[in-house]
Amino acid sequence: MFFVLFFSAEMSSQVRLMLLPNARCFFDDPVQVTVTGLRSKQLVTMKARSTDDKGVMFSSSATYRADGSGEIHLDRDPSLSGSYVGVEPMGLLWSMKADTLHKRLHEKNPLIPYVVKFSVHEEEEGSMLAEVINERFVIGDGVSRDQVKKGNIHGVLFTPPGRGPFPAVLDLSSSRSERRACLLANKGFVVLSITLYNDKPANLKEIHLDYLEEAVDFLKQHSKVGSEGIGVLSRSKGSDIALSLAAFVPGIKAVVWINGCNANVALPLSYKKRQILPPLLLNLTKLIPTQSGALNGKYVLDNPLAEENKDTLIPIERAKGHFLFVASEDDINWDSKAYMDDMVERLRRHGKENFESVSYPGAGHLLEPPYGPHCYSCSHITISKPVVWGGEARAHAAAEVHLWKKIQEFFRTHLSCDAAQIKAML
């Protein structure tokens, strides 16, 4: 089944724009875009547009030539010009750009689908020949979303339908975003989404690992959780916190570290009423202005390997769980690849083999679940100014598709539920 709208005009009564297998899908699902009813070899413009919950418009366009039968298939036919060129089945989605500079797709409510309008237009006159509305859902049927305010825990819990048991993941993010956690819950994980900065970052004096240990214990005790240990999904500042959880807190079985640092960044880290790691400091005078007005912050962090900073390095060799290290090679926020390489070397020096690593040439800092618009620059939560995140859109989009599958495989491998538990639940 598919949902299709087409406009009846003098030259377009037979033109149909279709999304297969369905125009209603999950945010992280690909769709097959097909146009039929065109003239043989007709040149047309394909467009996509959407508006986020802050009213920012995102759009893309690409020129295609129909085949001899008057059809276009985006998984077969190349774009000749526009927002991208070549065969890119989902190019109209990942190449969308905001209508104003330094904006990132903003969606606070995962219960509301992300709506994209696809359309096909006459190349010369620009008149619309057909349009279809794509509803891209973040939350699946039966997945529950519950606010959690217990002790020091302030987060959102996503639980799959059914009795379980399910593997459990703690999702750490710097700013409020539930999309990644919710999409992971659709795949059969209990996911608790925690925002590191409930207060303004400038007001924070330190981070307490005890608060996050509470979140870990909450997941361990949940009635639907069956994995022996907890997984942690993280990016950027959240990634060094994830490393510290693995090193100091029992029960962390699997950590996904995405474009983070190998040291404790910016704020002292405390645990059990004492400081366990001093902060690796930042020098904001090293921010470099770019032509677009966004700032390049790649060289703001002090060198964690310098002798005077070695106390800030996180002792990941203490961890009993497994690591998936992920680095983008065009990360402009900081040098994630260098930090990853150092951690790999550190673990090898200690005789550890509890890790795997992957790097993505051409990808930028903000790796997300796939098929959203690529964000090259936007406001940074800690300095309230636009910064460059990096990434070439095509390479970045391909990295997101590959990584999203890898994350799920990694967690399923290391957070598998005990067969005896499953039998007992049944």
Of 331, 377, 380, 414, catalytic? 331
Concatenate the DSSP letters of all residues of 155-212 into one string.
Answer: EEEEE-SSS--EEEEEEEESS---HHHHHHHHTT-EEEEEES-SS-GGG---EEHHHH
Please report which helix (H) or strand (E) contains residue 276, including its range: strand 274-277
Let me know if 331 is a catalytic residue: yes
CA distance 224 to 143: 13
Active-site residue, 199 included: no
Catalytic, out of 193, 302, 330, 365: 365
Integer Cα distance of 352 and 344 in angstroms: 9
How far, in Å, CA of 366 to CA of 328, rounded?
9
- Residue type at 380? H
Among 59, 95, 177, 236, which one carries the catalytic annotation? 236
Neighbour order of strands in the sheet with 16-20:
16-20, 32-36, 72-73
Strands (E), 297-385: 322-328, 355-360, 377-379
Helix/strand/coil for 62: strand
Q: Which two tokens stand for residue 160?
A: 């799959």
29 included as an active-site residue = no
Structure tokens at 278: 């001093």
The answer to whether the bond into 30 is cis (omega within 30° of 0) is no
Longest CA–CA separation in the chain, Å: 76
Residues whose CB falls within 8 Å of the CB of residue 97, separated by 6 or more in sequence, listed in order: 58, 59, 60, 83, 373
Catalytic residues: 236, 331, 365
